[in-house]
């Protein structure tokens, strides 16, 4: 089954294991070797969901805590995924998380923990001391990426790891985050065979699992994990990404026959900011489920120009609450808005809107 580690990026201490749906408190103390009086003994509460591949981070102490340089504020919480970075006390004490498949004594991967419908509910908490941080990362068993839509108590010391687990931890430094599915874009954008355009600021790749006849991703070379990590100085970069996306459309042989949209998913499953350039025919075998459809045809898909204007107005990008619920909306044609009961019926219906 998968397990989760909290990793100290400055190697100040060993990785800390985060049990599934159990709360762990991070703060000042011997385990983390943090002696800074600005860091509370109970600074951050962590709760990992191994099934969904994220760690819920809640700020407990009064001093600044941030995820991808976006401040939380005392009492607030966010979901942190592979590729994102947690800082305690301003920009000090950086941490990342890793999800990995545990290997049993016979060398085989354990079976994955079954999904729990109540995974978001609080589990009984344990009596805490203060635990401190882990180091290293790896991979949770890759799911079928074509099936993805492109988001207080205490802590007990874990028992000594088994021999197979020790062996896995020993190779973490060589494979930090390299195998997790949501890091795939960082690999693809470096692959010359995937690149259809590049310049000194961005690269364009074909989506591996296109949801339409034409579906490209525009990615910046600069490492930006998510929309929430964008700041005012990124405005010109986003304008350049949009211009490059428009050039891709202009050069497309079907540009005169098909309509295109450029935008971002509100809560992308893949780490690293990427602009979708997608034709609106949605004629693709990789469009398989309701999440795919609603991620491109509801407000979950944020227009590129709207993101740019948000940066100009406020200096950051905010995502409205409840965006994830949009993925559960009924299937509705994006042209005539007629509701369809299943994906096959929707796809059949869409044929009537395809250009002749």
pLDDT digits 0-9 by tens, 152-165: 333 333 344 444 44
Rounded to the nearest 10 degrees, what angle do helices 304-314 and 235-251 cross at? 170
Asked, for residue 44, whether it belongs to a domain, the answer is: yes
Query: Does 156 fall in a domain?
Result: no
Tell me which H or E stretch contains 293.
Answer: helix 290-297
Among 122, 152, 168, give the residue marking a domain's end.
122
CATH number, residue 255: 3.30.428.10
Q: Is 92 found in the same domain as 193?
A: no
Which of 87-101, 221-235, 299-313 is the least confident region? 87-101
Q: Can you give the residue range of the structural domain that contains 16?
A: 2-122
What is the reported pLDDT for 167?
42
Q: Is the pLDDT of residue 234 over 80?
A: yes
For 308-345, how does the pLDDT look when each residue is reduced to its tens digit (9 = 90+)?
Answer: 999 999 999 999 888 999 999 999 999 999 999 999 99
pLDDT one-digit tens code per residue, 281-311 = 999 999 999 999 999 999 999 999 999 999 9
Residues 346 and 201 in one domain: yes
What SS3 state is found at 331? strand
Catalytic residue among 13, 215, 234, 274: 274
What's the half-sphere exposure (Cβ side, CA atoms, 13 Å) at 168? 26
Please say which residue of 106, 122, 138 terminates a domain.
122
Q: Indicate if 197 and 346 belong to the same structural domain.
A: yes
Residues 101 and 187 in one domain: no
The mean per-residue pLDDT over the stretch 185-210 comes to 91
CATH number of the domain at 33, please.
Answer: 2.60.200.20
Buried b (16+ CB within 10 A) or exposed e, 62-97: ebbbbbbebebeeeebbbbbbbbbbbbbeeebebbb
For the stretch 99-141, pLDDT in tens is 877 655 555 555 444 443 333 333 333 333 343 333 333 333 3
For the question of residue 276 being annotated catalytic, the response is no
Q: How far apart are CA 297 and CA 326, in angstroms?
A: 10
pLDDT score, position 143: 38
pTM here is 0.54
Q: Give the whole-number percent of the chain exceeding pLDDT 90.
A: 44
pLDDT of 30: 67
């Amino acid at each position: 089954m998968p397990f989760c580690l909290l990793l100290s990026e400055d190697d100040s201490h060993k990785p800390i294991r985060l049990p599934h749906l159990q709360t762990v408190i991070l703060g000042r103390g011997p385990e983390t070797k943090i002696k800074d009086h600005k860091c509370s003994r109970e600074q951050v509460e962590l709760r990992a969901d191994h099934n969904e591949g994220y760690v819920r981070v809640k700020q407990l102490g009064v001093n600044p805590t941030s995820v991808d340089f976006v401040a939380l504020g005392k009492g607030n919480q966010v979901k942190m995924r592979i590729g994102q970075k947690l800082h305690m006390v301003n920009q000090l004490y950086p941490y990342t998380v890793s999800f990995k498949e545990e290997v049993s004594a016979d060398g085989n991967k354990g079976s994955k923990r079954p999904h729990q419908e109540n995974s978001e509910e609080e589990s009984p908490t344990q009596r805490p001391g203060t635990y401190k941080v882990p180091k290293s990362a790896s991979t949770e068993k890759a799911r079928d990426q074509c099936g993805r839509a492109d988001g207080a108590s205490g802590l007990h010391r874990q028992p000594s790891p088994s021999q197979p687990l020790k062996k896995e931890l020993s190779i973490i430094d060589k494979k930090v985050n390299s195998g997790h599915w949501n890091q795939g874009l960082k690999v693809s954008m470096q692959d010359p065979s995937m690149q259809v355009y590049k310049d000194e600021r961005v690269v364009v790749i074909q989506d591996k699992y296109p949801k339409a006849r034409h579906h490209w991703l525009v990615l910046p070379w600069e490492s930006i994990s998510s929309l929430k990590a964008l700041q005012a100085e990124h405005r010109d970069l986003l304008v350049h990404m949009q211009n490059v996306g428009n050039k891709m459309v202009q050069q497309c042989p079907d540009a005169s026959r098909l309509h295109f949209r450029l935008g971002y998913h509100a809560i992308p499953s893949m780490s690293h900011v990427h602009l979708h350039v997608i034709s609106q025919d949605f004629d693709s075998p990789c469009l398989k489920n309701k999440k795919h459809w609603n991620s491109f045809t509801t407000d979950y898909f944020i227009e590129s120009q709207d993101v740019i204007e948000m940066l100009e107005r406020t200096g950051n990008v905010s995502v409205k609450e409840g965006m994830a619920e949009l993925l559960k909306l009924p299937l509705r044609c994006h042209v005539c808005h007629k509701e369809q009961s299943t994906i096959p019926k929707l796809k059949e219906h869409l044929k009537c809107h395809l250009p002749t």
